Amino acid sequence: MSLINHQVQLASRPDGEPSIANFRHVQSPVAALQDGQVLVRNHYLSLDPYMRGRMNDGKSYAAPQPLDAVMQGGAVGEVVESRHPHFAAGDKVVGAGGWQQYAVFDGATPGLLRKVDTTHIPLQAYLGAVGMPGVTAWVGLNMIIAPKAGETVVVSAASGAVGGVLGQLTKARGCRVVGIAGGPEKCAYTVGELGFDACVDYKAHRDFKALSAALKDAAPGGIDGCFENVGGLILDAVMARMNAFGRIALCGMIAGYNGQPLPMLNPSLILISRLKMQGFIVSEHMDLWPEALKELGQRVASGQLKYRETVAQGLESAPEAFLGLLKGRNFGKQLVKLV
Amino acid sequence: MSLINHQVQLASRPDGEPSIANFRHVQSPVAALQDGQVLVRNHYLSLDPYMRGRMNDGKSYAAPQPLDAVMQGGAVGEVVESRHPHFAAGDKVVGAGGWQQYAVFDGATPGLLRKVDTTHIPLQAYLGAVGMPGVTAWVGLNMIIAPKAGETVVVSAASGAVGGVLGQLTKARGCRVVGIAGGPEKCAYTVGELGFDACVDYKAHRDFKALSAALKDAAPGGIDGCFENVGGLILDAVMARMNAFGRIALCGMIAGYNGQPLPMLNPSLILISRLKMQGFIVSEHMDLWPEALKELGQRVASGQLKYRETVAQGLESAPEAFLGLLKGRNFGKQLVKLV
């Protein structure tokens, strides 16, 4: 074969806010497949907030994204050629395809590449509601928040790929669900389309006092569970409204991704309200994925679980789309469509 | 009877640091017992850091200490007169006797007053290692930290009534135990007498960098569990040295008891290191007390569990001794001896 592969690589690490200059486009021929390998053509790339953390070189839960290498990330696509018996040309797959047109996988490594059924579920949903973001919501909800019917749960970045699933799963468990999102359009979507009970527009409440008051209106009985994607002021305001024995699943702190200091205003609330706060990474709970994917797949296939996508066109648009995601310019799951 | 009772009452709420002027000594006759009541003469009063929080009127986990009423608190003593069939004159008891010479109890209310066996355990130990402080250590250790043998656990206020028990119980579970205490004498005690593996003198390491470095020396493999009594700089420094999946039992934040702001420097470490941080109050876990008291009683009776006491003499010394406790002037359990 003489396929040409186009990639986006990390060219330099950001100093503070990342920019287009941190990325580089390169092309190179796709090498011939060896025994056991599988060649996949990526149809959709997944853009996710966690990628920002990996652009840094500091201590974090995952190894940093290597410089001068293809940007790592999830992708869905179709097998073009297979030299492994578990895969065949034409198979629809999800895996860590990266920001590139073609990806080569070792077919024998468990979990690296997985065949998916697109009869009732669109291929790209395996990057969203039936993929890592959906499972992230499921794990945080079931492993940490574990809400009882009638409790109130708050989720930040509520219209995003994780937040939207979190809110709908929580509603299905009989809870009151309050979103926090940026702007009236996103708020209206979580209430009108996703069935949230209320949503607080953080852009309309810029300081602690205003945000606390808005949360009090939206959750008059206090907050029992919180799925936190943002941190900073939003977490401070939620903590002040938590009921005794509240649980906070800490999934992301996108407010601090560019390195700005992000202290917690009043940690003594953890003691005063006997809160449990726990950070987690979905890839460390692989034992929960099958059960999570089963519920998420059924809900998406039956139309009970809704989601929204923002789709950038073409590989070259990936860096700009990613920078937009970090600023909340996307609406729902941010994808890049290659095919 | 014409007994005269001497009490210490709360005369005013402190504005910042409390002082002797917040307390008042009063005397009044002990009223005649009614059916079902038990009259106890207090032998020892317990002084505990949680009492500082209750002197305030703000939101907290317990109702504030009422003004112009006897200071509430645990005490051990002897039944003087009983009009309840479960108690008899001469019984040794532990209960919420308060800062006074005589206390009247309703003998029928479960948990208010409990007979204790002083054959192998000194009466005042029921206010310390075999009482609320010991159970506090036991609950935080078993319910939240749940350490595995070989892990490293750090405890602040390490020479105190709670910290000393925590460290010894943790050692008995096969862990490396590192204390944090104020001054070389307290540090030497935790290592030399209580068997801790190391102790960091926070008074010799006054900023984040110095304290972090000292913790790195004392816990070269990182920290897996933390029992936190202090908060502020100490918690910040411990968090920076926590290993992945570390557990922090938040028992007290005495650094902020006088109302000074006490932000957490870097809460993103909860996410980066996938920490679990949980606040708890021992009185909300009464189901665990019997098992805890059984283990603690056996260890004290057999001499395996050691503790130290600072004993102030006479009821009138209670306020001064309490203010000293808040400044760390005590060594081990702070008691007031009345008889």
Sign of CA pseudo-dihedral A296, A297, A300, A302: negative
CB nearest to B274's CB, from A267, A275, A280: A280
Q: Does B270 lie in the same domain as B140?
A: yes
What is the extent of the structural domain holding A42?
A: 4-128+307-337
Averaged pLDDT for residues A274-289: 96
- Could you tell me the CA-to-CA distances from B334 to B71, B115, B250 in Å, in that order? 16, 22, 21
Whether the pLDDT of residue A62 is over 80: the answer is: no
Q: Which chain B positions have a beta carbon within 8 Å of A270's beta carbon? A: 250, 277-279
CB B99 within 8 A of CB B11: no
Q: How confident is the model at residue A263 (pLDDT cuts 50, 70, 90)?
A: very high
Interface test with B, best of A270, A273, A280, A282 (most B CBs within 10 A): A270
Distance CA B81, CA B87 (A): 9
Whether the pLDDT of residue B1 is over 70: the answer is: no
Q: How confident is the model at residue B63 (pLDDT cuts 50, 70, 90)?
A: confident
Subunit contact A271:B279, Cβ cutoff 8 A: yes
Return mean pLDDT, chain A.
95
Q: Which chain B positions have a beta carbon within 8 Å of A251's beta carbon? A: 271
Distance CA A266, CA B60 (A): 13
pLDDT, one tens digit per residue, over B2-30 is: 799 999 999 999 998 999 999 999 999 99
| Cα dihedral A216→A194→A300→A162 (10° resolution) | -50
Q: How confident is the model at residue B245 (pLDDT cuts 50, 70, 90)?
A: very high
Q: How confident is the model at residue A67 (pLDDT cuts 50, 70, 90)?
A: very high
Nearest CA in chain A to B284: A274
The verdict on A63 touching B (C-beta cutoff 8 Å) is no
- CATH number for the domain harbouring residue A168: 3.40.50.720
Q: Does A136 lie in the same domain as A279?
A: yes
Residue B257 counted as domain residue: yes
The verdict on B256 touching A (C-beta cutoff 8 Å) is yes
Q: Which chain A positions have a beta carbon within 8 Å of B256's beta carbon? A: 268
pLDDT attached to residue A59 = 66
pLDDT attached to residue A185 = 97
Q: Does A142 lie in the same domain as A276?
A: yes
Averaged pLDDT for residues A60-87: 94
pLDDT attached to residue B59 = 66
Q: Is the ipTM of this complex over 0.90?
A: yes
Residue A292 counted as domain residue: no
User: Which residues, 6 or more positions from B128, have their beta carbon under 8 angstroms from its beta carbon?
Assistant: B46, B134, B161, B307, B309, B332, B333, B335
Distance CA B283, CA B241 (A): 30
Residue B143 counted as domain residue: yes
pLDDT, one tens digit per residue, over A222-257 is: 999 999 999 999 999 999 999 999 999 999 988 887
Q: Does A240 lie in the same domain as A312?
A: no
- CA nearest to B147, candidates B123, B169, B117: B169
Q: Does A269 lie in the same domain as A189?
A: yes
Q: Does B154 lie in the same domain as B80?
A: no
Residue B259 counted as domain residue: yes
> Could you write out the three-class secondary structure of chain B?
CCCEEEEEEECCCCCCCCCHHHEEEEEEECCCCCCCEEEEEEEEEECCCHHHHHHCCCCCCCCCCCCCCECCCCEEEEEEEECCCCCCCCCEEEECCCCECEEEEECCCCCCEEECCCCCCCHHHHHCCCCHHHHHHHHHHHHHHCCCCCCEEEEECCCCHHHHHHHHHHHHCCCEEEEEECCHHHHHHHHHCCCCCEEEEHHHCCCHHHHHHHHHHHCCCCEEEEEECCCCHHHHHHHHCEEEEEEEEECCCHHHCCCCCCCECCCHHHHHCCCEEEECCHHHCHHHHHHHHHHHHHHHHCCCCCCCEEEEECHHHHHHHHHHHHCCCCCCEEEEECC
CB A73 within 8 A of CB A45: yes
pLDDT, one tens digit per residue, over B261-315 is: 799 999 999 999 999 999 999 999 999 999 999 999 999 999 999 999 999 999 9
Residue B298 counted as domain residue: no
Q: Does A210 lie in the same domain as A117?
A: no
- Could you tell me the CA-to-CA distances from B299 to A42, B130, B240 in Å, in that order? 64, 9, 34
- Among B60-64, B87-91, B98-102, whose mean pLDDT is lowest? B60-64
pLDDT attached to residue B8 = 98
Q: Does B279 lie in the same domain as B173?
A: yes
pLDDT, one tens digit per residue, over B205-229 is: 999 999 999 999 999 999 999 999 9
The CA-based angle A297-A301-A307, given to 5 degrees, is: 80
Residue B254 to chain A, least CA–CA distance (Å): 10
Whether the pLDDT of residue A112 is over 80: the answer is: yes
Residue A294 counted as domain residue: no
Q: How confident is the model at residue B130 (pLDDT cuts 50, 70, 90)?
A: very high
User: Which residues, 6 or more positions from B18, have their beta carbon under 8 angstroms from its beta carbon?
Assistant: B52, B55, B258, B323, B326
pLDDT attached to residue A261 = 79
pTM confidence score: 0.94
Whether the pLDDT of residue B319 is over 70: the answer is: yes
Distance CA B264, CA B210 (A): 17
Whether the pLDDT of residue A1 is over 60: the answer is: no
Task: Give me the number of domains chain A comprises.
Answer: 2
pLDDT attached to residue A90 = 98
Q: Does A266 lie in the same domain as A193?
A: yes
The verdict on B260 touching A (C-beta cutoff 8 Å) is no
Residue A300 counted as domain residue: no
Return mean pLDDT, chain B.
95
Q: How confident is the model at residue A20 (pLDDT cuts 50, 70, 90)?
A: very high
pLDDT attached to residue A220 = 98
pLDDT attached to residue A264 = 96
pLDDT attached to residue B195 = 98
Q: Does A103 lie in the same domain as A219?
A: no
Q: Does A243 lie in the same domain as A136?
A: yes
Q: Does A73 lie in the same domain as A36?
A: yes
Subunit contact B277:A274, Cβ cutoff 8 A: no
Residue B55 counted as domain residue: yes
Averaged pLDDT for residues A22-36: 96
Longest dimension (CA), chain B: 65
- CATH number for the domain harbouring residue A73: 3.90.180.10
pLDDT, one tens digit per residue, over A170-223 is: 999 999 999 999 999 999 999 999 999 999 999 999 999 999 999 999 999 999
- CA nearest to A70, candidates A139, A124, A23, A33: A23
